[in-house]
Structure formats: C-alpha cells, structure tokens
Amino acid sequence: MEHIVGIGGFAVSGDGPDVIKTFALSTCVGMVFYSLRKRCMGMAHIQLPNSRAAHAEDKPSRFADVAPKFLLDQMISKFGMTKGEVLISLYGGIDGRGETDCFRIGEKNLATVKAAFKALGLVYNEVDTGGCDSRTLVAYVGTGVVEVIKRPMAPGLGVTARPGMARPPGAGAGMARPPGAGMARPGAPGTGFTRPPGMGGGFMNTGAASAQRPLDRPMGIVLGKKP
C-alpha cells in the first residue's frame, strides 16, 4: 500500500510492502521515525514551527514543537515500539539566506524540531537539510530505506524550476500583470493569470537527483534505491 503524506500530515505503518511518500519539502521539514526491531515506520510533514498560536490538537503533526512527541506516541501505541529504539532522520528546511525563504521558516522549523528532540531525550540524524533544493521522500517500510529526490527551487517563486519558466521582461518574483489589469489571462481580463511564453499548464520539475548514500553516523535511516 502507498501512503501519501500531505502538508502538515503524517502516516505510520508496520506492513513491510508499504511505501510512505511526501512531496516537495522546501521550508517544511520531513521527519522519519523507524524501528529495526518492529520494522515499523512513521513520517510527518512539518509545516510551521510553533503550535501556540494555532489549534495544534487538530493536527499536531503540522507543528515542529509538538510533532516529534505526537509521532513517537503513535508508533509506541500502535506497534509496541520503545522510545530507545527509534531511529530518526530529518529532511528539508531550506536555507533562509536565499530568496526562497525570506521569513526563514525552514531554519525555524529545524531549530524547533531539534529542541523538541532534545527535550524528549531523542537522538536524531540531520540527513539532508538546508540548501535551496526541494525534496521528495520515498520511504520503504520493510527495509527503512528512504530515497531523497532533490530538485532546484526557482529563486523568489517558492516553486521548483522548469525550462521555459522565464519571467517576462521587467517582472519581479511574481507573475506579470498586463497594464491596468489584475491577474489576467488572454480573453478574460481581470481573471486568472498570464503565462509567460513557453510556459505550459503546470510546473514540471527538472534537475532531479536522488540521494543514495549511507549515513556515516550510527543512528538514522539508510538512504538508497528501492530494495
């Protein structure tokens, strides 16, 4: 079975053939828990650092300060895993020094989740974080292997780049607007948006590269190809 983890969501599984995926981590942080003894896995897609200004009880996996304890509790209660055996890996949290994260949400997510691990007495591996690449995770429950697919971010857009996605002359980080119009598309002034020449109906990622290297630290999850 394939489990898709959306933004702020989570999934857990103890079924060996299962695959858990999450897509396009940028400022968000992907957190993977694994137990070698129980062969069970959990994944959360953390969106924001702080739960205090929101209703964290509705979606605790969304917030970096409460997601670690929530996911740990889920795996302990469902699979009988112990706290001391969990292997933890982190992904995403792009570097706020670039145009892609002017509010440094990625840095704040990473700092907050690390503080939460410390408070819980958990050891983690910082497997693939920071930088300016979007990351998609494909994790295999039976082996604990996590494949990381990286794609470059388009500066200032917060989306991954594709050929032909050039901005019109004089345009800034957003999409260009014709004079006197709001967001416009041909034939319907004031509605929709204008696509620059060469840009199709959607965004297509390029420059993909899968991280396939073993960890050099004793804790964590091995990166690699599908077993």
In a domain, 119, yes or no: yes
Same domain flag for 188 and 124: no
Residue 29's H or E segment, with its range, is strand 29-35
Highest mean pLDDT, choosing among 131-145, 173-187, 209-223: 131-145
pLDDT of residue 71: 98
Residue-wise pLDDT for 130-158, tens only, equals 998 999 999 999 999 999 999 987 655 44
Which residues, 6 or more positions from 46, have their beta carbon under 8 angstroms from its beta carbon? 8, 28, 29, 30, 31, 61, 62, 63, 64, 67, 109, 113
**Model confidence, pTM:** 0.69
Length of the chain: 227
Nearest to 154 by CA among 100, 105, 202: 100
Q: Residues 149, 184: one domain?
A: no
Same domain, 50 and 150: yes
110 and 10 in a common domain:
yes
Question: Do 97 and 9 share a domain, yes or no?
Answer: yes
* 149 inside domain: yes
Distances (CA, A) of 119 to 48, 103, 123, 177: 18, 25, 11, 49
Please give the structure tokens belonging to residue 138: 């494909």
Same domain, 98 and 125: yes
Q: Based on the domain organization, do 67 and 87 belong to the same domain?
A: yes
Residues in Cβ contact with 15 at an 8 Å cutoff, skipping those fewer than 6 apart: 1, 141
Per-residue pLDDT reduced to its tens digit, 60-92: 999 999 999 999 999 999 999 999 999 999 999
Q: In what order do the strands lie in the sheet with 2-5?
A: 2-5, 19-25, 133-140, 146-152, 209-211
**Segments forming the whole domain that contains residue 176:** 163-202
How many domains is the chain partitioned into structurally? 2
How, if at all, do strands 133-140 and 19-25 pair?
antiparallel
